[in-house]
Amino acid sequence: MKELMLTNQAIARGAYEAGVRVLSAYPGTPSTEIAENFAKLDGVYAEWAPNEKVAVEVAIGASVAGARAMACMKHVGLNVAADPLFTVAYTGVGGGLVIVVADDPGMHSSQNEQDSRYYARSAHVPMLEPSDANEAKEFVKIAYELSEKFDTPVLIRETTRVAHSHGFVDLQDRAEVELKKYEKAPQKYVMMPANAIKRHVVVEERDNALSAYVNDMAINREELTDKNEVGIVCSGAVYQYVKEALPNANVFKIGTAYPLPMSALKAFSTKVKEVIVIEELEPYIEDAMKAAGIACHGKDLFSLQGEISVLKIMEKFGGASAPEAEKVPARPPVMCAGCPHRGVFYVLNKLKLTVNGDIGCYTLGAVPPLSAVDTCVCMGASVGMAHGFKKATDGASNNVAVIGDSTFLHSGVTGLINAVYNESGITLIILDNSTTGMTGHQQHPATGKNLMGAPAPVVLLDELCKACGVKDLQIVDAYDVKAVEKAVKAATASKEVSVIIAQRPCALLDKSSKPKMQVQNCRNCGVCMRLGCPAISVGENGVKIDASQCTGCEVCANVCPFGALSLVKEG
Amino acid sequence: MMNVLIAGVGGQGTLLASRVLGKYAMLCGKDCKLSEIHGMSQRGGSVVTHVRIGEKIHSPVIWEGGADVVIAFEALEAARTAHYLKPEGILLVNDEEILPMPCITGAAEYPKNVKERLSLRVKHTHFIKAQEAAVEAGSGKATNIVMLGALCKLFAFDKDVMKRAVEACVPAKFLQLNLAAFELGYERV
Ligand SMILES: Cc1ncc(C[n+]2csc(CCOP(=O)(O)OP(=O)(O)O)c2C)c(N)n1
């Protein structure tokens, strides 16, 4: 049977067909749909972990216990999970273990363009790189075979254009894979120096064996056409672009980004006029080929930045040039109408505070007109950075940290423990919208539901903060702008570490129809326009409300100095 | 081979439209790839989805100068993506203007003569009041299906197959509404 599937769904399907029993993941574009789709399949266990490090550790545990297991994350998630990754490379696996990582060249939804292939190389973990949905499903199965044959975790790398494209996928049945019997083997699974020294020898032997093995794998293949033509070396999405732009070129398609099939690449290089490596991001393949003595072009032709495209390849080979685009105003993403984050940023901007921001929908508090956020580095960084600001200025800095609920549980809580322990007196605002908004509304440990859709115990954010030693804690309604302002003033005045939990569910969660705002006797003072609400615009006689977007949150009414905005009374 | 670029504003239903076309390809026994971007851009930002239908498809992404048709759910988004069209390509535009935030705040100006400029740039430009038609059919949310009805007419797609594709992609309780929207798009282009 054939089905048109999103690649991430195909990866979930591949895991299912490979007999995977346990999947743990933390959401992150463009990887999120793998776990979401796996959770819908029969007879499997899937969960959201609070962060990627935990997800990988869960998968390692399941593997050592004898099950085939998977962990999934976006590229920056692998930084968080790098610690277990580098050591599970030494222990090897019980049941097959696959870690899926999704890179984001072009930064469609990310804060950097890091290239995960270097993780595979430096951790000595094989990495497969599919180029479309059907291949992705097949590569997952190959990954489990490799994992068990060579006693190693295996990485699968996808990029946004692979992860978020659909293609036809051939469906097969689920393989019945027995749970292997766990046997105590401390020399393999207890990585203290005496054991790890011996395992490092095993890692090197395995690497050598794999480096030879990959040359004969069918997923590394040449497609030869004409000896007098150039030979293109590529992988992943770029392979599909090359086939489109240069249908007659000689191509070497790499399926194993690590180890690279170097003998096969060497043989290919002797069969073509010259070798050009086309790869997104870093010169990973190019550098390796040059180090192996294979002359080639690569980053002298294509940029390190952004995505490769069919057109960029055609341009280099003289086939086409880009038609000129119209110059039009940008349409950047905005906080939704009714977003509970809006009023908080309005207050922070009004009070002229320096805001150490974090990653989530609320990062949009950085854009005009709210323009409140000063810094954003990585998940959890708001809290540590706010502490650093205080320490650098002997407590004089006028700053607060702002973090989402999912991000707080991911890695903000450790920063809070540090701030209490090392006594910086920071103010932390937790924007508790009861969901992981940015990535499309996933559950997390404080929402009361799990990935399988069942009710779950709730981690209470206020109790958690108190347990960390926070004594100054306030809970406010995020829509009540005056209460938020009062709370922020009190918290920043205190010398102790203070936490404000601003609560209101994400406006997109409740789809029921609600009363809208109306405008009467507007004096055009422009205060509500500073909210950057997409439902409010300037009309001829004052502001006007777009009823199709308005959720009646009343934040605009709460900031209007003249009482011109009010809820339409029902009936 | 047919390359369809669908451009709109986050929340307008471009993803559903591309999935209906994917289903259509499947029912016709053709190869098909779709490409979409999730995440950040969906929060009211510009969104573009790509649909490619043919005997054998490699790239899921259409390139500038490679689209047979651009379906734009909003006029500014049509202007933003018109250069994706082939020289003889067709531009199908929902005749509606949605202000982006920089225009709401006054940091930028919504171009005054977008429609004229589009018609000058692209010979085969069609405007359709799709949002209005969708409201007539029962819900503004069906704008995407009105656009598909119009596309079906312009490209002489198999109407019955296309309706089956719509049926396969929308929830049963909204089927009648969507089929009505489809017919209005088909009639009014
Ligand atoms: C290490 C890492 N993992 C995942 C992501 C993807 N990501 C960006 S923001 C976010 C969570 C947002 O949820 P929350 O903090 O609750 O804020 P909201 O978007 O709901 O306002 C995630 C998972 C990331 N940027 N970095």
Q: Tell me the residues of chain A between 317 and 346 that have a Cβ less than 8 Å away from chain B.
A: 320, 322-326, 328-336
Q: Which residues of A35-71 are buried (b: 16+ CB within 10 A; e: fewer)?
A: bbbbbebeebbbbbbbbbbbbbbbbbebbbbbbbbbb
Q: Cα(A88)–Cα(A206) distance, rounded to whole angstroms?
A: 14
Closest CB to A330: pick one of B64, B65, B102. B102
Task: For residues B141 and B17, give the distance between their C-alpha atoms in angstroms, rounded to a whole number.
Answer: 12
- Per DSSP, the residues of A351-366 read TT-EEE--SSGGGGGG
* CB of A31 sitting under 6 A from ligand 1: no
**Rounded CA gap, A242 and A248, in Å?**
10
| Residue A394 in contact with partner chain B when CB distance is under 8 A | no
CA distances in angstroms from A557 to A336, A346, A481, A488, A549, listed in the order given: 17, 13, 10, 20, 16
Beta carbon of A436 within 6 Å of any ligand 1 atom? yes
Tokens of A122: 């430096």
- Quick one: fold of A341-503? Rossmann fold (3.40.50)
* Cβ atoms of A57 and A84 closer than 8 Å: yes
Determine contact, residues A402/A356, Cβ cutoff 8 Å.
yes
- Which residue owns the Cα nearest ligand 1 atom 12? A360
End-to-end CA distance of chain B: 23
| Cβ density class A414-437: b for 16+ within 10 Å, e for less | ebbebbbeeebbbbbbbbbbbbbb
- Give the SS3 label for residue A211: helix
Domain A2-216 has CATH 3.40.50.970: yes
Any bridge partners for residue A23, and if so which? Answer: A46, A70
Rounded distance, CA A193 to CA B95, Å? 69
CATH class of A221-316: alpha beta
Orientation of helix A7-17 relative to helix A133-150, angle to 10°: 40
Q: How far is A314 from chain B (nearest CA, A)?
A: 10
Two tokens, residue A81: 């999970």
Q: Is the CB of A379 under 6 A from ligand 1?
A: yes
- ipTM, two decimals, is 0.95
CATH 3.30.70.890 corresponds to the domain B2-133: no
Q: Which among A272, A310, A268, A316 is positioned nearest to A289, based on CA atoms?
A: A268
CA distance B63 to chain A (A): 6
- Residue-wise pLDDT for B6-43, tens only, equals 999 988 889 999 999 999 999 999 999 999 987 665 67
CA distance A284 to A279: 8
Of B10, B64, B79, the CB nearest to A328: B79
Contact predicate B138/B180, CB 8 Å: yes
Helix (H) or strand (E) holding A32: none
Say if B113 is an interface residue toward chain A (CB within 8 Å).
no
CB atoms within 10 A of CB A187: 13
- Residue spans of the domains in chain B: they are 2-133
> Which of A166, A335, A364 should one mutate to test binding to chain B, selecting the residue with the greatest count of B CBs within 10 A?
A166
Q: In one letter, which amino acid is B185?
A: G
Q: Which of A408, A416, A429, A503 is nearest to A51 (CA)?
A: A408
Give the B window 9-68 contacts with A, CB below 8 Å: 9-10, 19, 22-23, 25-26, 31-46, 57-61, 63-66
Task: Name the closest residue on chain A to residue B24, using Cα atoms.
Answer: A4
Q: Where are the alpha helices (DSSP H) in A214-272?
A: 236-245, 262-269
Closest in B60, B79, B82 to A165, CB measured: B60
Q: Which two tokens stand for residue A63?
A: 């593997």
The span from the CA of A464 to the CA of A32, in Å, is 27
- Do B4 and B67 form a contact (C-beta atoms < 8 A)? yes
Q: Which two tokens stand for residue A69?
A: 């297991």
Secondary structure, 3-state, B62-119: CCCCCEEEEEECCHHHHHHHHHHEEEEEEEEEECCCCCCHHHHHCCCCCCCCHHHHHH
Q: What is the pTM of this model?
A: 0.97
CA neighbor of A227 nearest in space, from A264, A267, A268, A272: A272
**How far apart (Å, rounded) are the C-alpha atoms in residues A387 and A401?**
9
3-state secondary structure of A500: strand
Q: How far apart are CA A366 and CA A357, in angstroms?
A: 8
**Distance to chain B for A367, nearest Cα, Å:** 10
CATH class of A517-567: alpha beta
Which pLDDT value is given to residue A513?
A: 87
Contact B90, B124 (CB under 8 A): yes
Length of chain B: 189
Domain boundaries in chain A? 2-216, 221-316, 341-503, 517-567
pLDDT for residue B41: 59
Is residue A485 within a helix (H) or strand (E), and if so which, with residue range?
Answer: helix A481-493
Q: Where are the alpha helices (DSSP H) in A23-177?
A: 33-38, 52-64, 75-80, 82-91, 117-123, 133-150, 160-163
How far does residue A99's CA lie from ligand 1's centre (Å)? Answer: 19
> Token match 């180029």: residue?
A131
- In Å, what is the CA distance from A183 to each residue of A94, A96, A127, A187, A189? 9, 15, 27, 12, 10
Which residues, including other chains, have CB under 8 Å from residue A493's CB and lie 6 or more apart? none
CB contact under 8 A, B63 and A314: yes
Round to whole Å and give the CA distance between B51 and B68.
11
Q: Is A209 helix (H, G, I), strand (E, B) or coil?
A: helix
Q: Please report the beta strands in A442-567, taking only residues with DSSP state E, as ranges in sequence order.
A: 472-477, 498-503, 517-519, 536-539, 542-545, 565-567
Which of A331, A527, A551 to mutate to probe the B interface, most B CBs <10 Å? A331
- Fold: same for A341-503 and A517-567: no
- For chains A and B, count residue pairs whose Cβ atoms are closer than 8 Å: 168
Q: What is the pLDDT along chain A (571 residues), one digit of tens a residue?
A: 889 999 999 999 999 999 999 999 999 999 999 999 999 999 999 999 999 999 999 999 999 999 999 999 999 999 999 999 999 999 999 999 999 999 999 999 999 999 999 999 999 999 999 999 999 999 999 999 999 999 999 999 999 999 999 999 999 999 999 999 999 999 999 999 999 999 999 999 999 999 999 999 999 999 999 878 899 999 999 999 999 999 989 999 999 999 999 999 999 999 999 999 999 999 999 999 999 999 999 999 999 999 999 999 999 998 788 899 999 999 999 999 999 999 999 999 999 999 999 999 999 999 999 999 999 999 999 999 999 999 999 999 999 999 999 999 999 999 999 999 999 999 999 999 999 999 999 999 999 999 999 999 999 999 999 999 999 999 999 999 999 999 999 999 999 999 999 999 999 998 888 999 999 999 999 999 999 999 999 988 899 999 989 999 999 999 999 999 999 987 5
CA distance A234 to A517: 55
